[in-house]
Amino acid sequence: GAGVSQSPSNKVTEKGKDVELRCDPISGHTALYWYRQSLGQGLEFLIYFQGNSAPDKSGLPSDRFSAERTGGSVSTLTIQRTQQEDSAVYLCASSPGVAGRDTQYFGPGTRLTVL
């Protein structure tokens, strides 16, 4: 079956521009996560969605970052006024059940480069 997909795979933007990153989770998965991975580093949690509950935004690094999940499926991560330190791979994951207690399946990521 289809896994988690993300688009675009690569995004190059200029400092100060806004970007939108998209995630399509595995069908039927109720939990969706966004992580950020800097070069050679582990994964940094950004935001989490579970069903119709309010998202857990505790990992967002600044108010320039926001995310939404429409219809309990597709999610968009938006970064406004991008900075060079935003350059990283942005990974999306989904899981089928209770948050943090079920295996998270990752997409291939979007590599963001801010010039």
Partner 1 sequence: GESVGLHLPTLSVQEGDNSIINCAYSNSASDYFIWYKQESGKGPQFIIDIRSNMDKRQGQRVTVLLNKTVKHLSLQIAATQPGDSAVYFCAENRTGRRALTFGSGTRLQVQP
The residue ranges that bind partner 1 (CB under 8 A) are: 4, 31, 33, 35, 40-43, 45, 48, 50, 56, 59, 91, 93, 99-101, 103-109
Select 16 or 97, whichever has its Cβ closest to partner 1: 97
Residue 104: CB minimum distance to partner 1, A: 6
Q: State in angstroms the smallest separation of the CB of 16 from partner 1.
A: 28
Distance between CA atoms of residues 52 and 48, nearest Å? 12
The single-letter code of the amino acid at 89 is: V
For residue 20, the minimal CB distance to partner 1 (Å) is 19
Distance in Å, CB of 54 to partner 1, minimum: 12
Q: Which is nearer to partner 1, 27 or 103 (CB)?
A: 103
Closer to partner 1 at the Cβ: 8 or 100?
100
Tokens of 88: 């990283």
Distances from the Cα of 77 to the Cα of 1, 40, 46, 67, 100, angstroms: 24, 22, 10, 4, 20
Closest to partner 1 by CB, 93 vs 114, is 93
Residue 15 tokens, joined: 């400092």
Contact 33, 15 (CB under 8 A): no
Check: CB of residue 49 under 8 Å from CB of residue 76. no
